[in-house]
Structure 1
Amino acid sequence: MPLIKAHDGYLTVFNMFETDSEEHQQRLLEEMQKIIDTGNFTGWVSSTLHGGQDKLGTANYIQWRSLHDLENRYAGQKYKNETVPLFKEISTSVNLLKTEVVFSQHHPDLDKIEISPERDDWTVIIIMDVEPENQQELVDLLGRPDDWLVTVPGYRSHSICRGTDGTFIILYAQWANKEAYDAFHHMPESERPADVQEIRAAVDRLVTARRANTYRVVHSRAAKN
């Protein structure tokens, strides 16, 4: 199954869809799974499909060996003439976000960060927009070891992915369940360590917009070595 590791050399793509009904979300998942199961693209490493929980939508976490391989995939006529029109019909927005994993941390009980439908992770994906001149500062703030977070009940892992165009970062996190994540997310600032409060305040000053959803992994496939 796919693994997340900082500086793994892959182009990590988040293919994010929003939709307006449970029927359309299920259709998106079915059509994407077909593509994942039949795809044999040069340079493709893995695809892991997520179904939205708090909001309707899907997320596909895709690893590619290079930008060139990705561009070749989306230049294909079948993709342009069949796949794109279909997804436009059943989704309300589509975002293809190209990133590189620049930081990852996991709980000591885990020996790696695995993303798989065989796991029961409550997955959180947060997209944070930032001005290009501030992106590295945001990465430096969030991409550092957090010893306190490891002590929070239900925490499993988190990774920071830097947008290759300089305008955003993505936080990809795994929690044991919804209740554990909600307790952490809604924790009063006064109950967090002072240094964590300072980092969060600095992040808030840099981030210009946030988009977030929670997910369950529903399907995954990796290329054969």
Structure 2
Amino acid sequence: MPFISVEDKHLTVLNLFTTDKPENQDRLIQEMTKIVDAAAYEGWMSSTVHAGVDQPGTANFIQWRSGEDLEKRYAGDEFKHRTLPVFSEITTSIRLLQNEVAYVLTSDELGGKVEIGPHRDDYTSIAVFTVTADGQDEAIDALGAGQEFIKDFPGFRANVVLKGLRARGLDGTFVVTYSQWDSKEAFEAFRDQAPEQQSEARKAAVGRLRAVLDGAPSANTYKVVHTRAAGE
């Protein structure tokens, strides 16, 4: 099963699709699963398909050896003439985000290891933050080290911060968070915590992030439904 680590230095690609109907989400998952199960691309390492919970859509968390390997995939006839047209028919937006893992924090129980796969019961939140051109490092620190207080929040499992490198379907500089929780209730208790109940550390991190935001963040929650790694 795939693991997320700063040390591995993989190129992490997060493909985020939105749609307007639950049945289109089901079709998206079917199409993505076909691609994942047939994947034999040079440099491809793993793909993990997520089904949207709060809003219809999907996320595919993909690990590649390098950007050069990914660009070969994008340049291929299959991607240009089948994959993109099929997804374009059933989506309302497509964002293909290339990233590097910048920060990882886990609960003590996970011991610093972030694993993703349908064998786990993680309730996953993915949020995309568009930031000012000179604010990316500040956003990464505010969303990463600035959030270490989160370890003490009930139900927290892991928080991963991804540094955006380049994207299709998204303009500007960006940062992504990928977090795992015990349950929907635990995540929403954290997300919706009233300002007067928040720690000073959380208030400081929120203020730092707001200072470099360039537009409203976008987010959805997910359950992992399928994964496969090269060689499986």
Asked if Structure 1 and Structure 2 have the same fold, meaning a TM-score greater than 0.5 normalized by the shorter chain, the answer is: yes
Selected match of 2:191 from 178, 185, 192: 185
Q: Where does residue 169 of structure 2 map in the other structure? A: none
Query: How far apart are residue 196 of structure 1 and its match?
Result: 1.9
How far apart, CA to CA, are the structure 1 residues paired with 2:19 and 2:143?
A: 30
Structure 1 residue aligned with 2:74: 74
TM-score normalised by structure 1 residue count: 0.96
Structure 1 residue 195 displacement after superposition = 2.1
SS at match of 1:109: coil
**Partner SS, residue 33 of structure 2:** helix
Is 2:150 the partner of 1:149? yes
The normalised TM-score by structure 2 is: 0.94
Q: Does 1:90 align with 2:97?
A: no
CA–CA separation in structure 2 for the residues paired with 1:195 and 1:151: 12
Aligned length: 225
Q: Provide the rounded CA distance (Å) in 1 between the counterparts of 2:121 and 2:206.
A: 28
Q: Does the Cα contact within 8 Å between 1:159 and 1:171 map onto a contact in 2?
A: yes
What percent of counterpart residues are identical?
44
Matches within 5 A, 1:40-59: 40-59=40-59
Deviation at 1:146, TM superposition (A): 4.2
Distance 2:147 2:163 in 1: 18
Stretch of structure 1 that moved more, 66-75 or 141-150: 141-150
Q: Which residue of 2 aligns with 1:117?
A: 118
Pairing 1:170–2:187 present = no
> Separation in 2 of the partners of 1:145 and 1:2?
26
Q: Structure 2: give runs of 5+ residues left out of the alignment.
A: 167-171
Q: Establish whether residue 221 from structure 1 lines up as the match of residue 228 from structure 2.
A: yes
- RMSD (Å), alpha carbons: 1.3
Q: Which residue of 1 aligns with 2:104?
A: 104
1:63 and 2:70 correspond:
no
